[in-house]
Every structure is written in C-alpha cells, then in structure tokens.
Structure 1
Amino acid sequence: MTSDDDVVTIDDIKRARDIIMASPLKVRKTPLLKNMTSYFPELDPSLNLNMKLESLQSTGSFKIRGVANQMASLPEEVKSGEKKLITMSAGNYGKAFAYTLDKLSLSGLCLMPLTAPSSRIALIKSLGCDVAIHPSHELETAISQYVRHNFFNLDPIDDQSYIAGCGSVALEILEDDVSPDVVVVCCGGGGLVSGVAAGIRQSGLTDCRIYAVEPEGSRTMYESFRKGEPVTMAVNSVATGLSPPYAGNLTYRCCRKYVEDVILVSDEEILTCMSRLFDIGLKAEPSGCAAMAAILNNKIPDVAGKNVVVLITGSNVTLSEMSSYIK
C-alpha cells in the first residue's frame, strides 16, 4: 500500500533498519512482552495486550533509531568538521544526539526549552554536547539563526530519514509474530507514530488501526487533524518529551494517511500509568507512558477480543523525579 505521496515507504524503512542495526551506536532490537492483559485487572480480559519496550532501547528511548539513520546521510561539510550540527530537544532526542556526537567525534549544539528537566540538560552536557536554553516559541527562530552561521540542522521531527529510522520498530513487531489489530503510539512531533504506522500498513496489515496519543496540554497533532493542516500552539505537560510547539508537515501528512485518530490523555492519567507500570516492574518516564495511559483509561475504541500492541517509548526519569510524580 504505497503511492507517490508517501512520506516514507516500506523499502525506506527496511533500508533504515539495516543501516541502524549495522551502526556503531548499539541500537537494539527491543523486547515485545506478549499476553500482558492479566497484569492489569482493569482491562477487558478478552483484550490481548502486547507491550513493545522501547524504554529498554540504547539511550533509554526510541529516538536513537531515527538519529542513527539521520547520521548515515550527513553532508560532507559536517563530517569534515566544517559545519557543526544543531538540533532542538526537551530531552530524549537531545540525549541520543549528544550520545551520537560523542561516539562519532562530531561537534554540535542542542537547543532546549525552558521547560526541559534540569536532569536532562545536565545529562546532555555531560556527554560533551553544548546546550543553549530558549523559550519553546523561540526555538525554531533560533535554529534558523544558527543555520545562517554555519550550522547544519538535524531535524528531530520533520525529517524523512528520522521517520524511516523510527519505523524500524514496526518491522520488529511483525517479526515477533504478532499480527496486531490495533497499535497505540505516543505522539510528540509525530516521527515515531508516522514511521510505525507507515511500516505496519505498508507491510500488508491494511485493516490494522493505529492511534496516536498526545497529552491534553500538548495537543498539536490533535488540533492539526481538526484544522486540516499542521498547527503551532502553546504547550504544557508533565510529558515534556511529547510537547514540541508544532506538528511537522511530513509527520502530519503521514499521520493523516495512516493514523486512525489522535487520542488525548491527561497528565494525571499519564502519571497514574507510570505508577502502574512501576508496580509491575517496568520503569517508564511520563512521555513513555502516554499510549498505555490511553489503554488503561479505555480511550481506544473497539479493543475487546483484539490483538493490541502498545509502545512504551522511554525510561529517562530519575528516582527523585519518580518520587515527586508518584504520590
């Protein structure tokens, strides 16, 4: 199921998977926990719940998949050191970016919003990456200014290579002998859900329903679906990794084609889900819990008797942060 207007094709995703698994960045095939329904008594017992743990990925989130694929096609002036790399991130993409720069001996700068947790800022700096802090609504303008001064922008949202790299998750799900009826994925800028949705649907599961899940306070893709075009808006959520101030053009196009709908969850639902996962021995950050929060709060329609795959996307949360979140 492909056409000329596809943002990424299944061949793009397969090539990306080969590239990132052969890279020196230690990208892993992450576990898929099957038949997990009994761990959550609040769920309909006929639902077959499967949990894909990108929280156990290298650097603690799925982001390294996209970054590794982006790094494979850097222009020569970046490889030679003539230009430095720049990106923006609230945490997980920045961590993957900084980790990659360190491994590949490259120089770069990460712009971070004022809302970024101090622990993430310190971590990215500890990996040798420079950091500059800006208000969220000024990040895009700041990136443009740096690009005019000999920086090369590595887009953390709206980049075909990044989306294709994230789509490698879909191939792993299918290789684990799960034929999902429903796949539920968190959504910030939309790179992960775009890649996963394209990968699942173009692999032949044309009836599989893919849902994107956003925090109520950071609902850029939700509002983009309602408006019919990508929107920019003020955002605020405990799930800072799901809170870019805009939806990407490419990710919006891909989501419109392959995503059934965008579901909203509250910060309270996200934190309650984090606690529930911790109770069964799984560590996840707030941003990593959004998709599972939608399942636990019965926000995904028609899941009774269905094979459901939920992505747990990140584990970058400190013990002190967890203790402040979980009451």
Structure 2
Amino acid sequence: MTVTRDDVQAAARRIEGRVRRTPVLQLSPTLAFKLELVQHVGSFKPRGMFNRMLSAKERGTLTGQGVVTASGGNAGLAVAYAARELGVPGRIFVPESAPPAKIARLRTLDADVVQVGSEYAEAYAAAVTASDESGALFVHAYDQPEVVAGQGTLGLELLEQADGFDTVLVAVGGGGLIAGIATAIGDRARVVGVEPELAPTMARTLEADDLIDVQVGGIAADSLGARRFGAIAFEAVKTYGVPSVLVGEDAIVAARNEFWREYRLAVEHGAAVTLAALRSGAYQPASDERVVVVVCGANTDPSTLA
C-alpha cells in the first residue's frame, strides 16, 4: 500500500470545511509551532478519519451500519466525532482496562463504546469481526491509505502557512501522521520523526528493515504506544529518508512543562516529544536551519502541568 501526494491533495479537497485550519506560531526566524492541538477533539486525527469516511461515502461503502474502530485514545475520539458529524453510527471497541474518563468522553460524542478483553489487541480483533459481520466500515487508527492521506493535509497547510522552512519535527506512534506529512512535503523539506526512548517503534522497525512487534511503555505510550509500525508508514519513511530520533522521559516532561509555562499550551506527553528533541539536543539543527515543531495533541490532564 502506498499513498501519493495526489492522494493528499484529494484528501484536502474532500475534508475542507470538516476540519480546522490550525495556526502556525512563529517564535523566531528559525522556529515555529504548528498548533494542531487545537484541531477538533484535541488532535490531528480527525483529518484522516474524515477522509476515510468521506472516501467510503463516495464509493457507496459508508452505509447505515456506520463505522467501527478500536481505540480508547485520540483515534477513537476522532472516529466518534467524524461519525457524529456525518450522521452515521460509530462503535468504538476498547479494552476493559480503558480509563473511565476516556469512555465517558467517547460517549459524549454519541459513540457506542464496547469494552472487550484486557488488551488493545483483543479490542482490535473484536472491531474487525464486528465490521465483517455487520458491514460497518472499519477505520484503522493509522494504517489505511485514506487515513494517511488525510493526516498529510497538515503538511500541505504548512507549505501555505509557513514563510519557508527546512525541517519538520513530527511525533511518531503508529506512523500515520509522519507518513502523511512525508508524502506531502518530503521532497521539499526534511521530515524527522521523534519517539520516546521507551516507545521506539519506528526506530526499531528501521533497524530491522521489517515490520516487527516492539515493546513499548513510558509516559507517552497512551498516544505513541503502537507496538507495530504501519506498513504504509514504513514505505513512506524509507522513500523519503525520514530518520527517527529518541527522547527520554525527563526531556518529555520538561518540554511539556515548557509548553505550559512559556506559551500556555496544555499538551499531552506524546505531543511534547518534538520540542523535547530540540531542547535535549536529540535533534541539533544548524544555526540557520528553519524548524517547524508539530504540536499534535492536547488530550491531557492539565492538573499535572507545572
């Protein structure tokens, strides 16, 4: 499976008016933030979920059975939101261990929340089975062409908004966002993935040159804890030569606190990894290198900010 820049451009046309055009905050001549945390439901995910559903609607495969997915996090929220906006049922499968607060929020978006098993893998298998049996559209959290193309629209926005840039730092979990951005702008700027040291899924996949299961954990695992990198992302990062840099737990916490202290941005730990890469020296730009930091999510408990 591959995604092209034409696919991303088509996605941009398809989801126009459904998602927010998020702002860019220019902090200096060499540093800017892409504030995707103000997207609907607090993350970049609606871009891809809307594109997946609207593409299916064009093909006639989005039926009254609605959509199903497996995710208690940002992807689940985005699927529930997009389903509600499009007027179709949304069923979100989550493990029984999912936090009650996340389940409650999903239900505020009119989603049918189904708790299955003790791990995500069991919820995922149940969602696939439900899709097969009911005819509902299955929406993957990150590894479907329409999802990746939708996430890539963030990159197209950057090309229009930023006054020239050399490098974009992108947080990496399953790889949908970095695959989309690399496809959109990888021939025009350097794209760099940033991962927690305790959730190095992309880094280990590149080392193995194969799709493998990776042990993940740490404070950012709720949003960047995919155990297996997406097949589409794997092809995209190899095509565009996207590297991964790793950041430690302390650097992530410090960057998250800096976002709040200096800019009054309440970001989740997974979204803080990009700034952490700069502040910790994991990524060291040249003196005149113009860097955009993608701030991709805000679904966090603000009471933990210092």
TM-score (norm. length: structure 1): 0.85
Deviation at 1:116, TM superposition (A): 4.5
SS in 1 for 2:191: strand
Deviation at 1:113, TM superposition (A): 4.3
Deviation at 1:273, TM superposition (A): 1.0
Deviation at 1:242, TM superposition (A): 1.0
Q: How does 1:20-169 map to 2 (within 5 A)?
A: 20-22=15-17, 25=18, 27-34=19-26, 36-37=27-28, 48-74=30-56, 79-81=62-64, 83-113=65-95, 116-133=98-115, 134=117, 135-150=119-134, 151-169=136-154
SS in 1 for 2:266: coil
Cα gap change, 1:117 to 1:290, in 2 (>3 Å)? farther
| 1:212 paired residue number | 193
| 2:289 paired residue number | 306
**Structure 1 unaligned blocks of 5 or more:** 38-46
Cα gap change, 1:114 to 1:180, in 2 (>3 Å)? farther
Q: Which digits, 9 at most, give the CA deviation of each residue in 1:110-159, with x for residues without a partner? A: 12346644322210122111223340343443333323322431111111
Q: How does 1:152-231 map to 2 (within 5 A)?
A: 152-202=137-187, 205=188, 208-231=189-212
Which region of structure 1 is more displaced relative to structure 2, 220-229 or 282-291? Answer: 282-291
| 1:257 paired residue number | 239
Q: Which digits, 9 at most, give the CA deviation of each residue in 1:190-248, with x for residues without a partner? A: 1111111111124xx1xx32111112222211111110012223322322111122111
Once residues 97 and 165 of structure 2 are traced to their aligned partners in structure 1, the CA distance between those partners, rounded to angstroms, is 36
1:90–1:115 Cα contact (<8 Å) kept: no
**Structure 1 residue 11 and structure 2 residue 6: aligned?**
yes
1:55–1:61 Cα contact (<8 Å) kept: yes
Counterpart residue type for residue 28 of structure 1: R
Cα gap change, 1:259 to 1:140, in 2 (>3 Å)? farther
**Structure 1 residue 238 and structure 2 residue 219: aligned?**
yes
Once residues 86 and 167 of structure 1 are traced to their aligned partners in structure 2, the CA distance between those partners, rounded to angstroms, is 22
SS in 2 for 1:256: helix
SS in 2 for 1:229: coil
Once residues 156 and 122 of structure 1 are traced to their aligned partners in structure 2, the CA distance between those partners, rounded to angstroms, is 20
Over 3 Å off, 4+ runs = 75-80, 113-118
Which region of structure 1 is more displaced relative to structure 2, 222-231 or 109-118? Answer: 109-118
Q: Which digits, 9 at most, give the CA deviation of each residue in 1:39-92, with x for residues without a partner? A: xxxxxxxx81111000111221111111111111226775431x3421122411
**Structure 1 residue 322 and structure 2 residue 305: aligned?**
no
* RMSD, aligned CA: 2.1
Counterpart residue type for residue 19 of structure 1: R
**Structure 2 unaligned blocks of 5 or more:** none
Once residues 21 and 104 of structure 1 are traced to their aligned partners in structure 2, the CA distance between those partners, rounded to angstroms, is 14
How many residues matched?
300
Counterpart residue type for residue 190 of structure 2: R
Identity in percent: 30
1:182–1:303 Cα contact (<8 Å) kept: no
1:233–1:245 Cα contact (<8 Å) kept: yes
Cα gap change, 1:113 to 1:225, in 2 (>3 Å)? farther
Once residues 139 and 290 of structure 1 are traced to their aligned partners in structure 2, the CA distance between those partners, rounded to angstroms, is 27
